């Protein structure tokens, strides 16, 4: 097993907005160990979403090196990034991002459509993932038949099906009431403990951050402090 599941070195990201250059990340370095739970915090415009996009292989840095599970990914093309993303990273978003007309089972199957598994095996794996998040009795329900907390559980099951090295969760409790939010955090922590999945959680909520192993605070594209 590689020493670091995430190893980002001297990462910069510059956006061109007309004639203005926006420096979203300014030489930021971060290492995250396998099985660690890390919160990324920072005010709006601090660069935390940009960092998440790069760590999740949704975007490339302008400069710097990034190794995911020991594999260099900073200079890959779009197709290669998509492949790494599909097998190495699971995403959980604040807005759930579920297909409204598809069942929970069909939503969870989505990331596996590009894998070697046939349809029957995909269904079995998706069903197991839904059972793992406590939704074994809801597999044929559509999003409009589920509560917010249940929809986020479907999203977590979808993030798990390809056994990713890391799960990136962007404000995973942001659209939930406090009880549902507590349940989702407890679920993420139990999955981390049982499966050893590394969790990277972008949050503005100090209570959520307090449940993680380490907090990385970002301001103006740089790491301000780690605790």
Instruction: Give the pLDDT score at 2.
Output: 64
Q: Which two structure tokens, joined as six digits, stand for 192?
A: 């981390």
User: Which has the closest alpha carbon to 205: 224, 178, 223?
Assistant: 178
Buried/exposed code over 202-224 (b: 16+ C-beta within 10 A; e: otherwise):
bbebeebbebbeebbbbeebbbe
| Neighbouring C-beta atoms of residue 46, cutoff 10 Å | 20
3-state SS track over 163-175: CCCEEEEECCCCC
The superfamily in CATH containing domain 6-226 is P-loop containing nucleotide triphosphate hydrolases (3.40.50.300)
Q: Are 170 and 92 in contact (CB under 8 A)?
A: yes
User: Which has the closest alpha carbon to 27: 225, 226, 224, 221?
Assistant: 221
Q: Which two structure tokens, joined as six digits, stand for 61?
A: 């840095």
pLDDT band at 1 (very low <50, low <70, confident <90, very high): low
Mean pLDDT of the chain: 91
Query: With a threshold of 0.75, does the pTM exceed it?
Result: yes
Domain boundaries, the chain: 6-226
pLDDT for 115-169, tens place per residue? 766 677 889 999 999 999 999 999 999 999 999 999 999 999 999 998 898 999 9
Return the minimum-mean-pLDDT range out of 9-13, 85-89, 183-187: 85-89
Task: Report, as an integer, the average pLDDT of 61-74.
Answer: 91
User: Which has the closest alpha carbon to 173: 188, 194, 163, 190?
Assistant: 188
How many residues belong to the chain? 227
pLDDT for 186-204, tens place per residue? 999 999 999 899 999 999 8
Query: For residues 225 and 214, what is the distance between their CA atoms, to the nearest angstrom?
Result: 11
Sheet architecture: strand order including 37-41:
89-93, 166-170, 198-202, 37-41, 214-219, 222-226
């Amino acid at each position: 097993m590689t020493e670091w599941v995430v190893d980002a070195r001297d990462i910069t990201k510059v956006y061109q907005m007309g004639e203005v250059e926006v420096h979203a990340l300014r030489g930021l370095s971060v290492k995250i160990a396998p099985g660690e739970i890390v919160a990324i915090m920072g005010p709006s415009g601090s660069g935390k979403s940009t960092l998440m996009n790069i760590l999740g292989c949704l975007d490339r840095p302008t400069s710097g090196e990034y190794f995911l599970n020991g594999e260099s990914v900073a200079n890959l093309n779009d197709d290669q990034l998509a492949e790494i993303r599909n097998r190495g990273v699971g995403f959980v978003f604040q807005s759930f991002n579920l297909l409204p007309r598809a069942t929970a089972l069909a939503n969870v199957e989505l990331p596996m459509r590009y894998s070697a598994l046939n349809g029957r095996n995909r269904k079995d794996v998706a069903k197991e993932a839904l059972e793992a998040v406590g939704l074994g009795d809801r597999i044929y329900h559509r999003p409009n038949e589920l509560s917010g907390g249940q929809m986020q559980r479907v999203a977590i099951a979808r993030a798990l099906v390809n056994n990713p090295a890391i799960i990136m969760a962007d404000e995973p409790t942001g659209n939930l009431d406090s009880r549902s939010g507590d349940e989702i955090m407890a679920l993420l922590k139990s999955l981390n403990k049982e499966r050893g999945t590394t969790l990277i959680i972008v949050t503005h909520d100090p209570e959520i951050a307090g449940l993680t192993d380490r907090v990385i605070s970002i301001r103006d594209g740089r790491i301000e402090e780690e605790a």
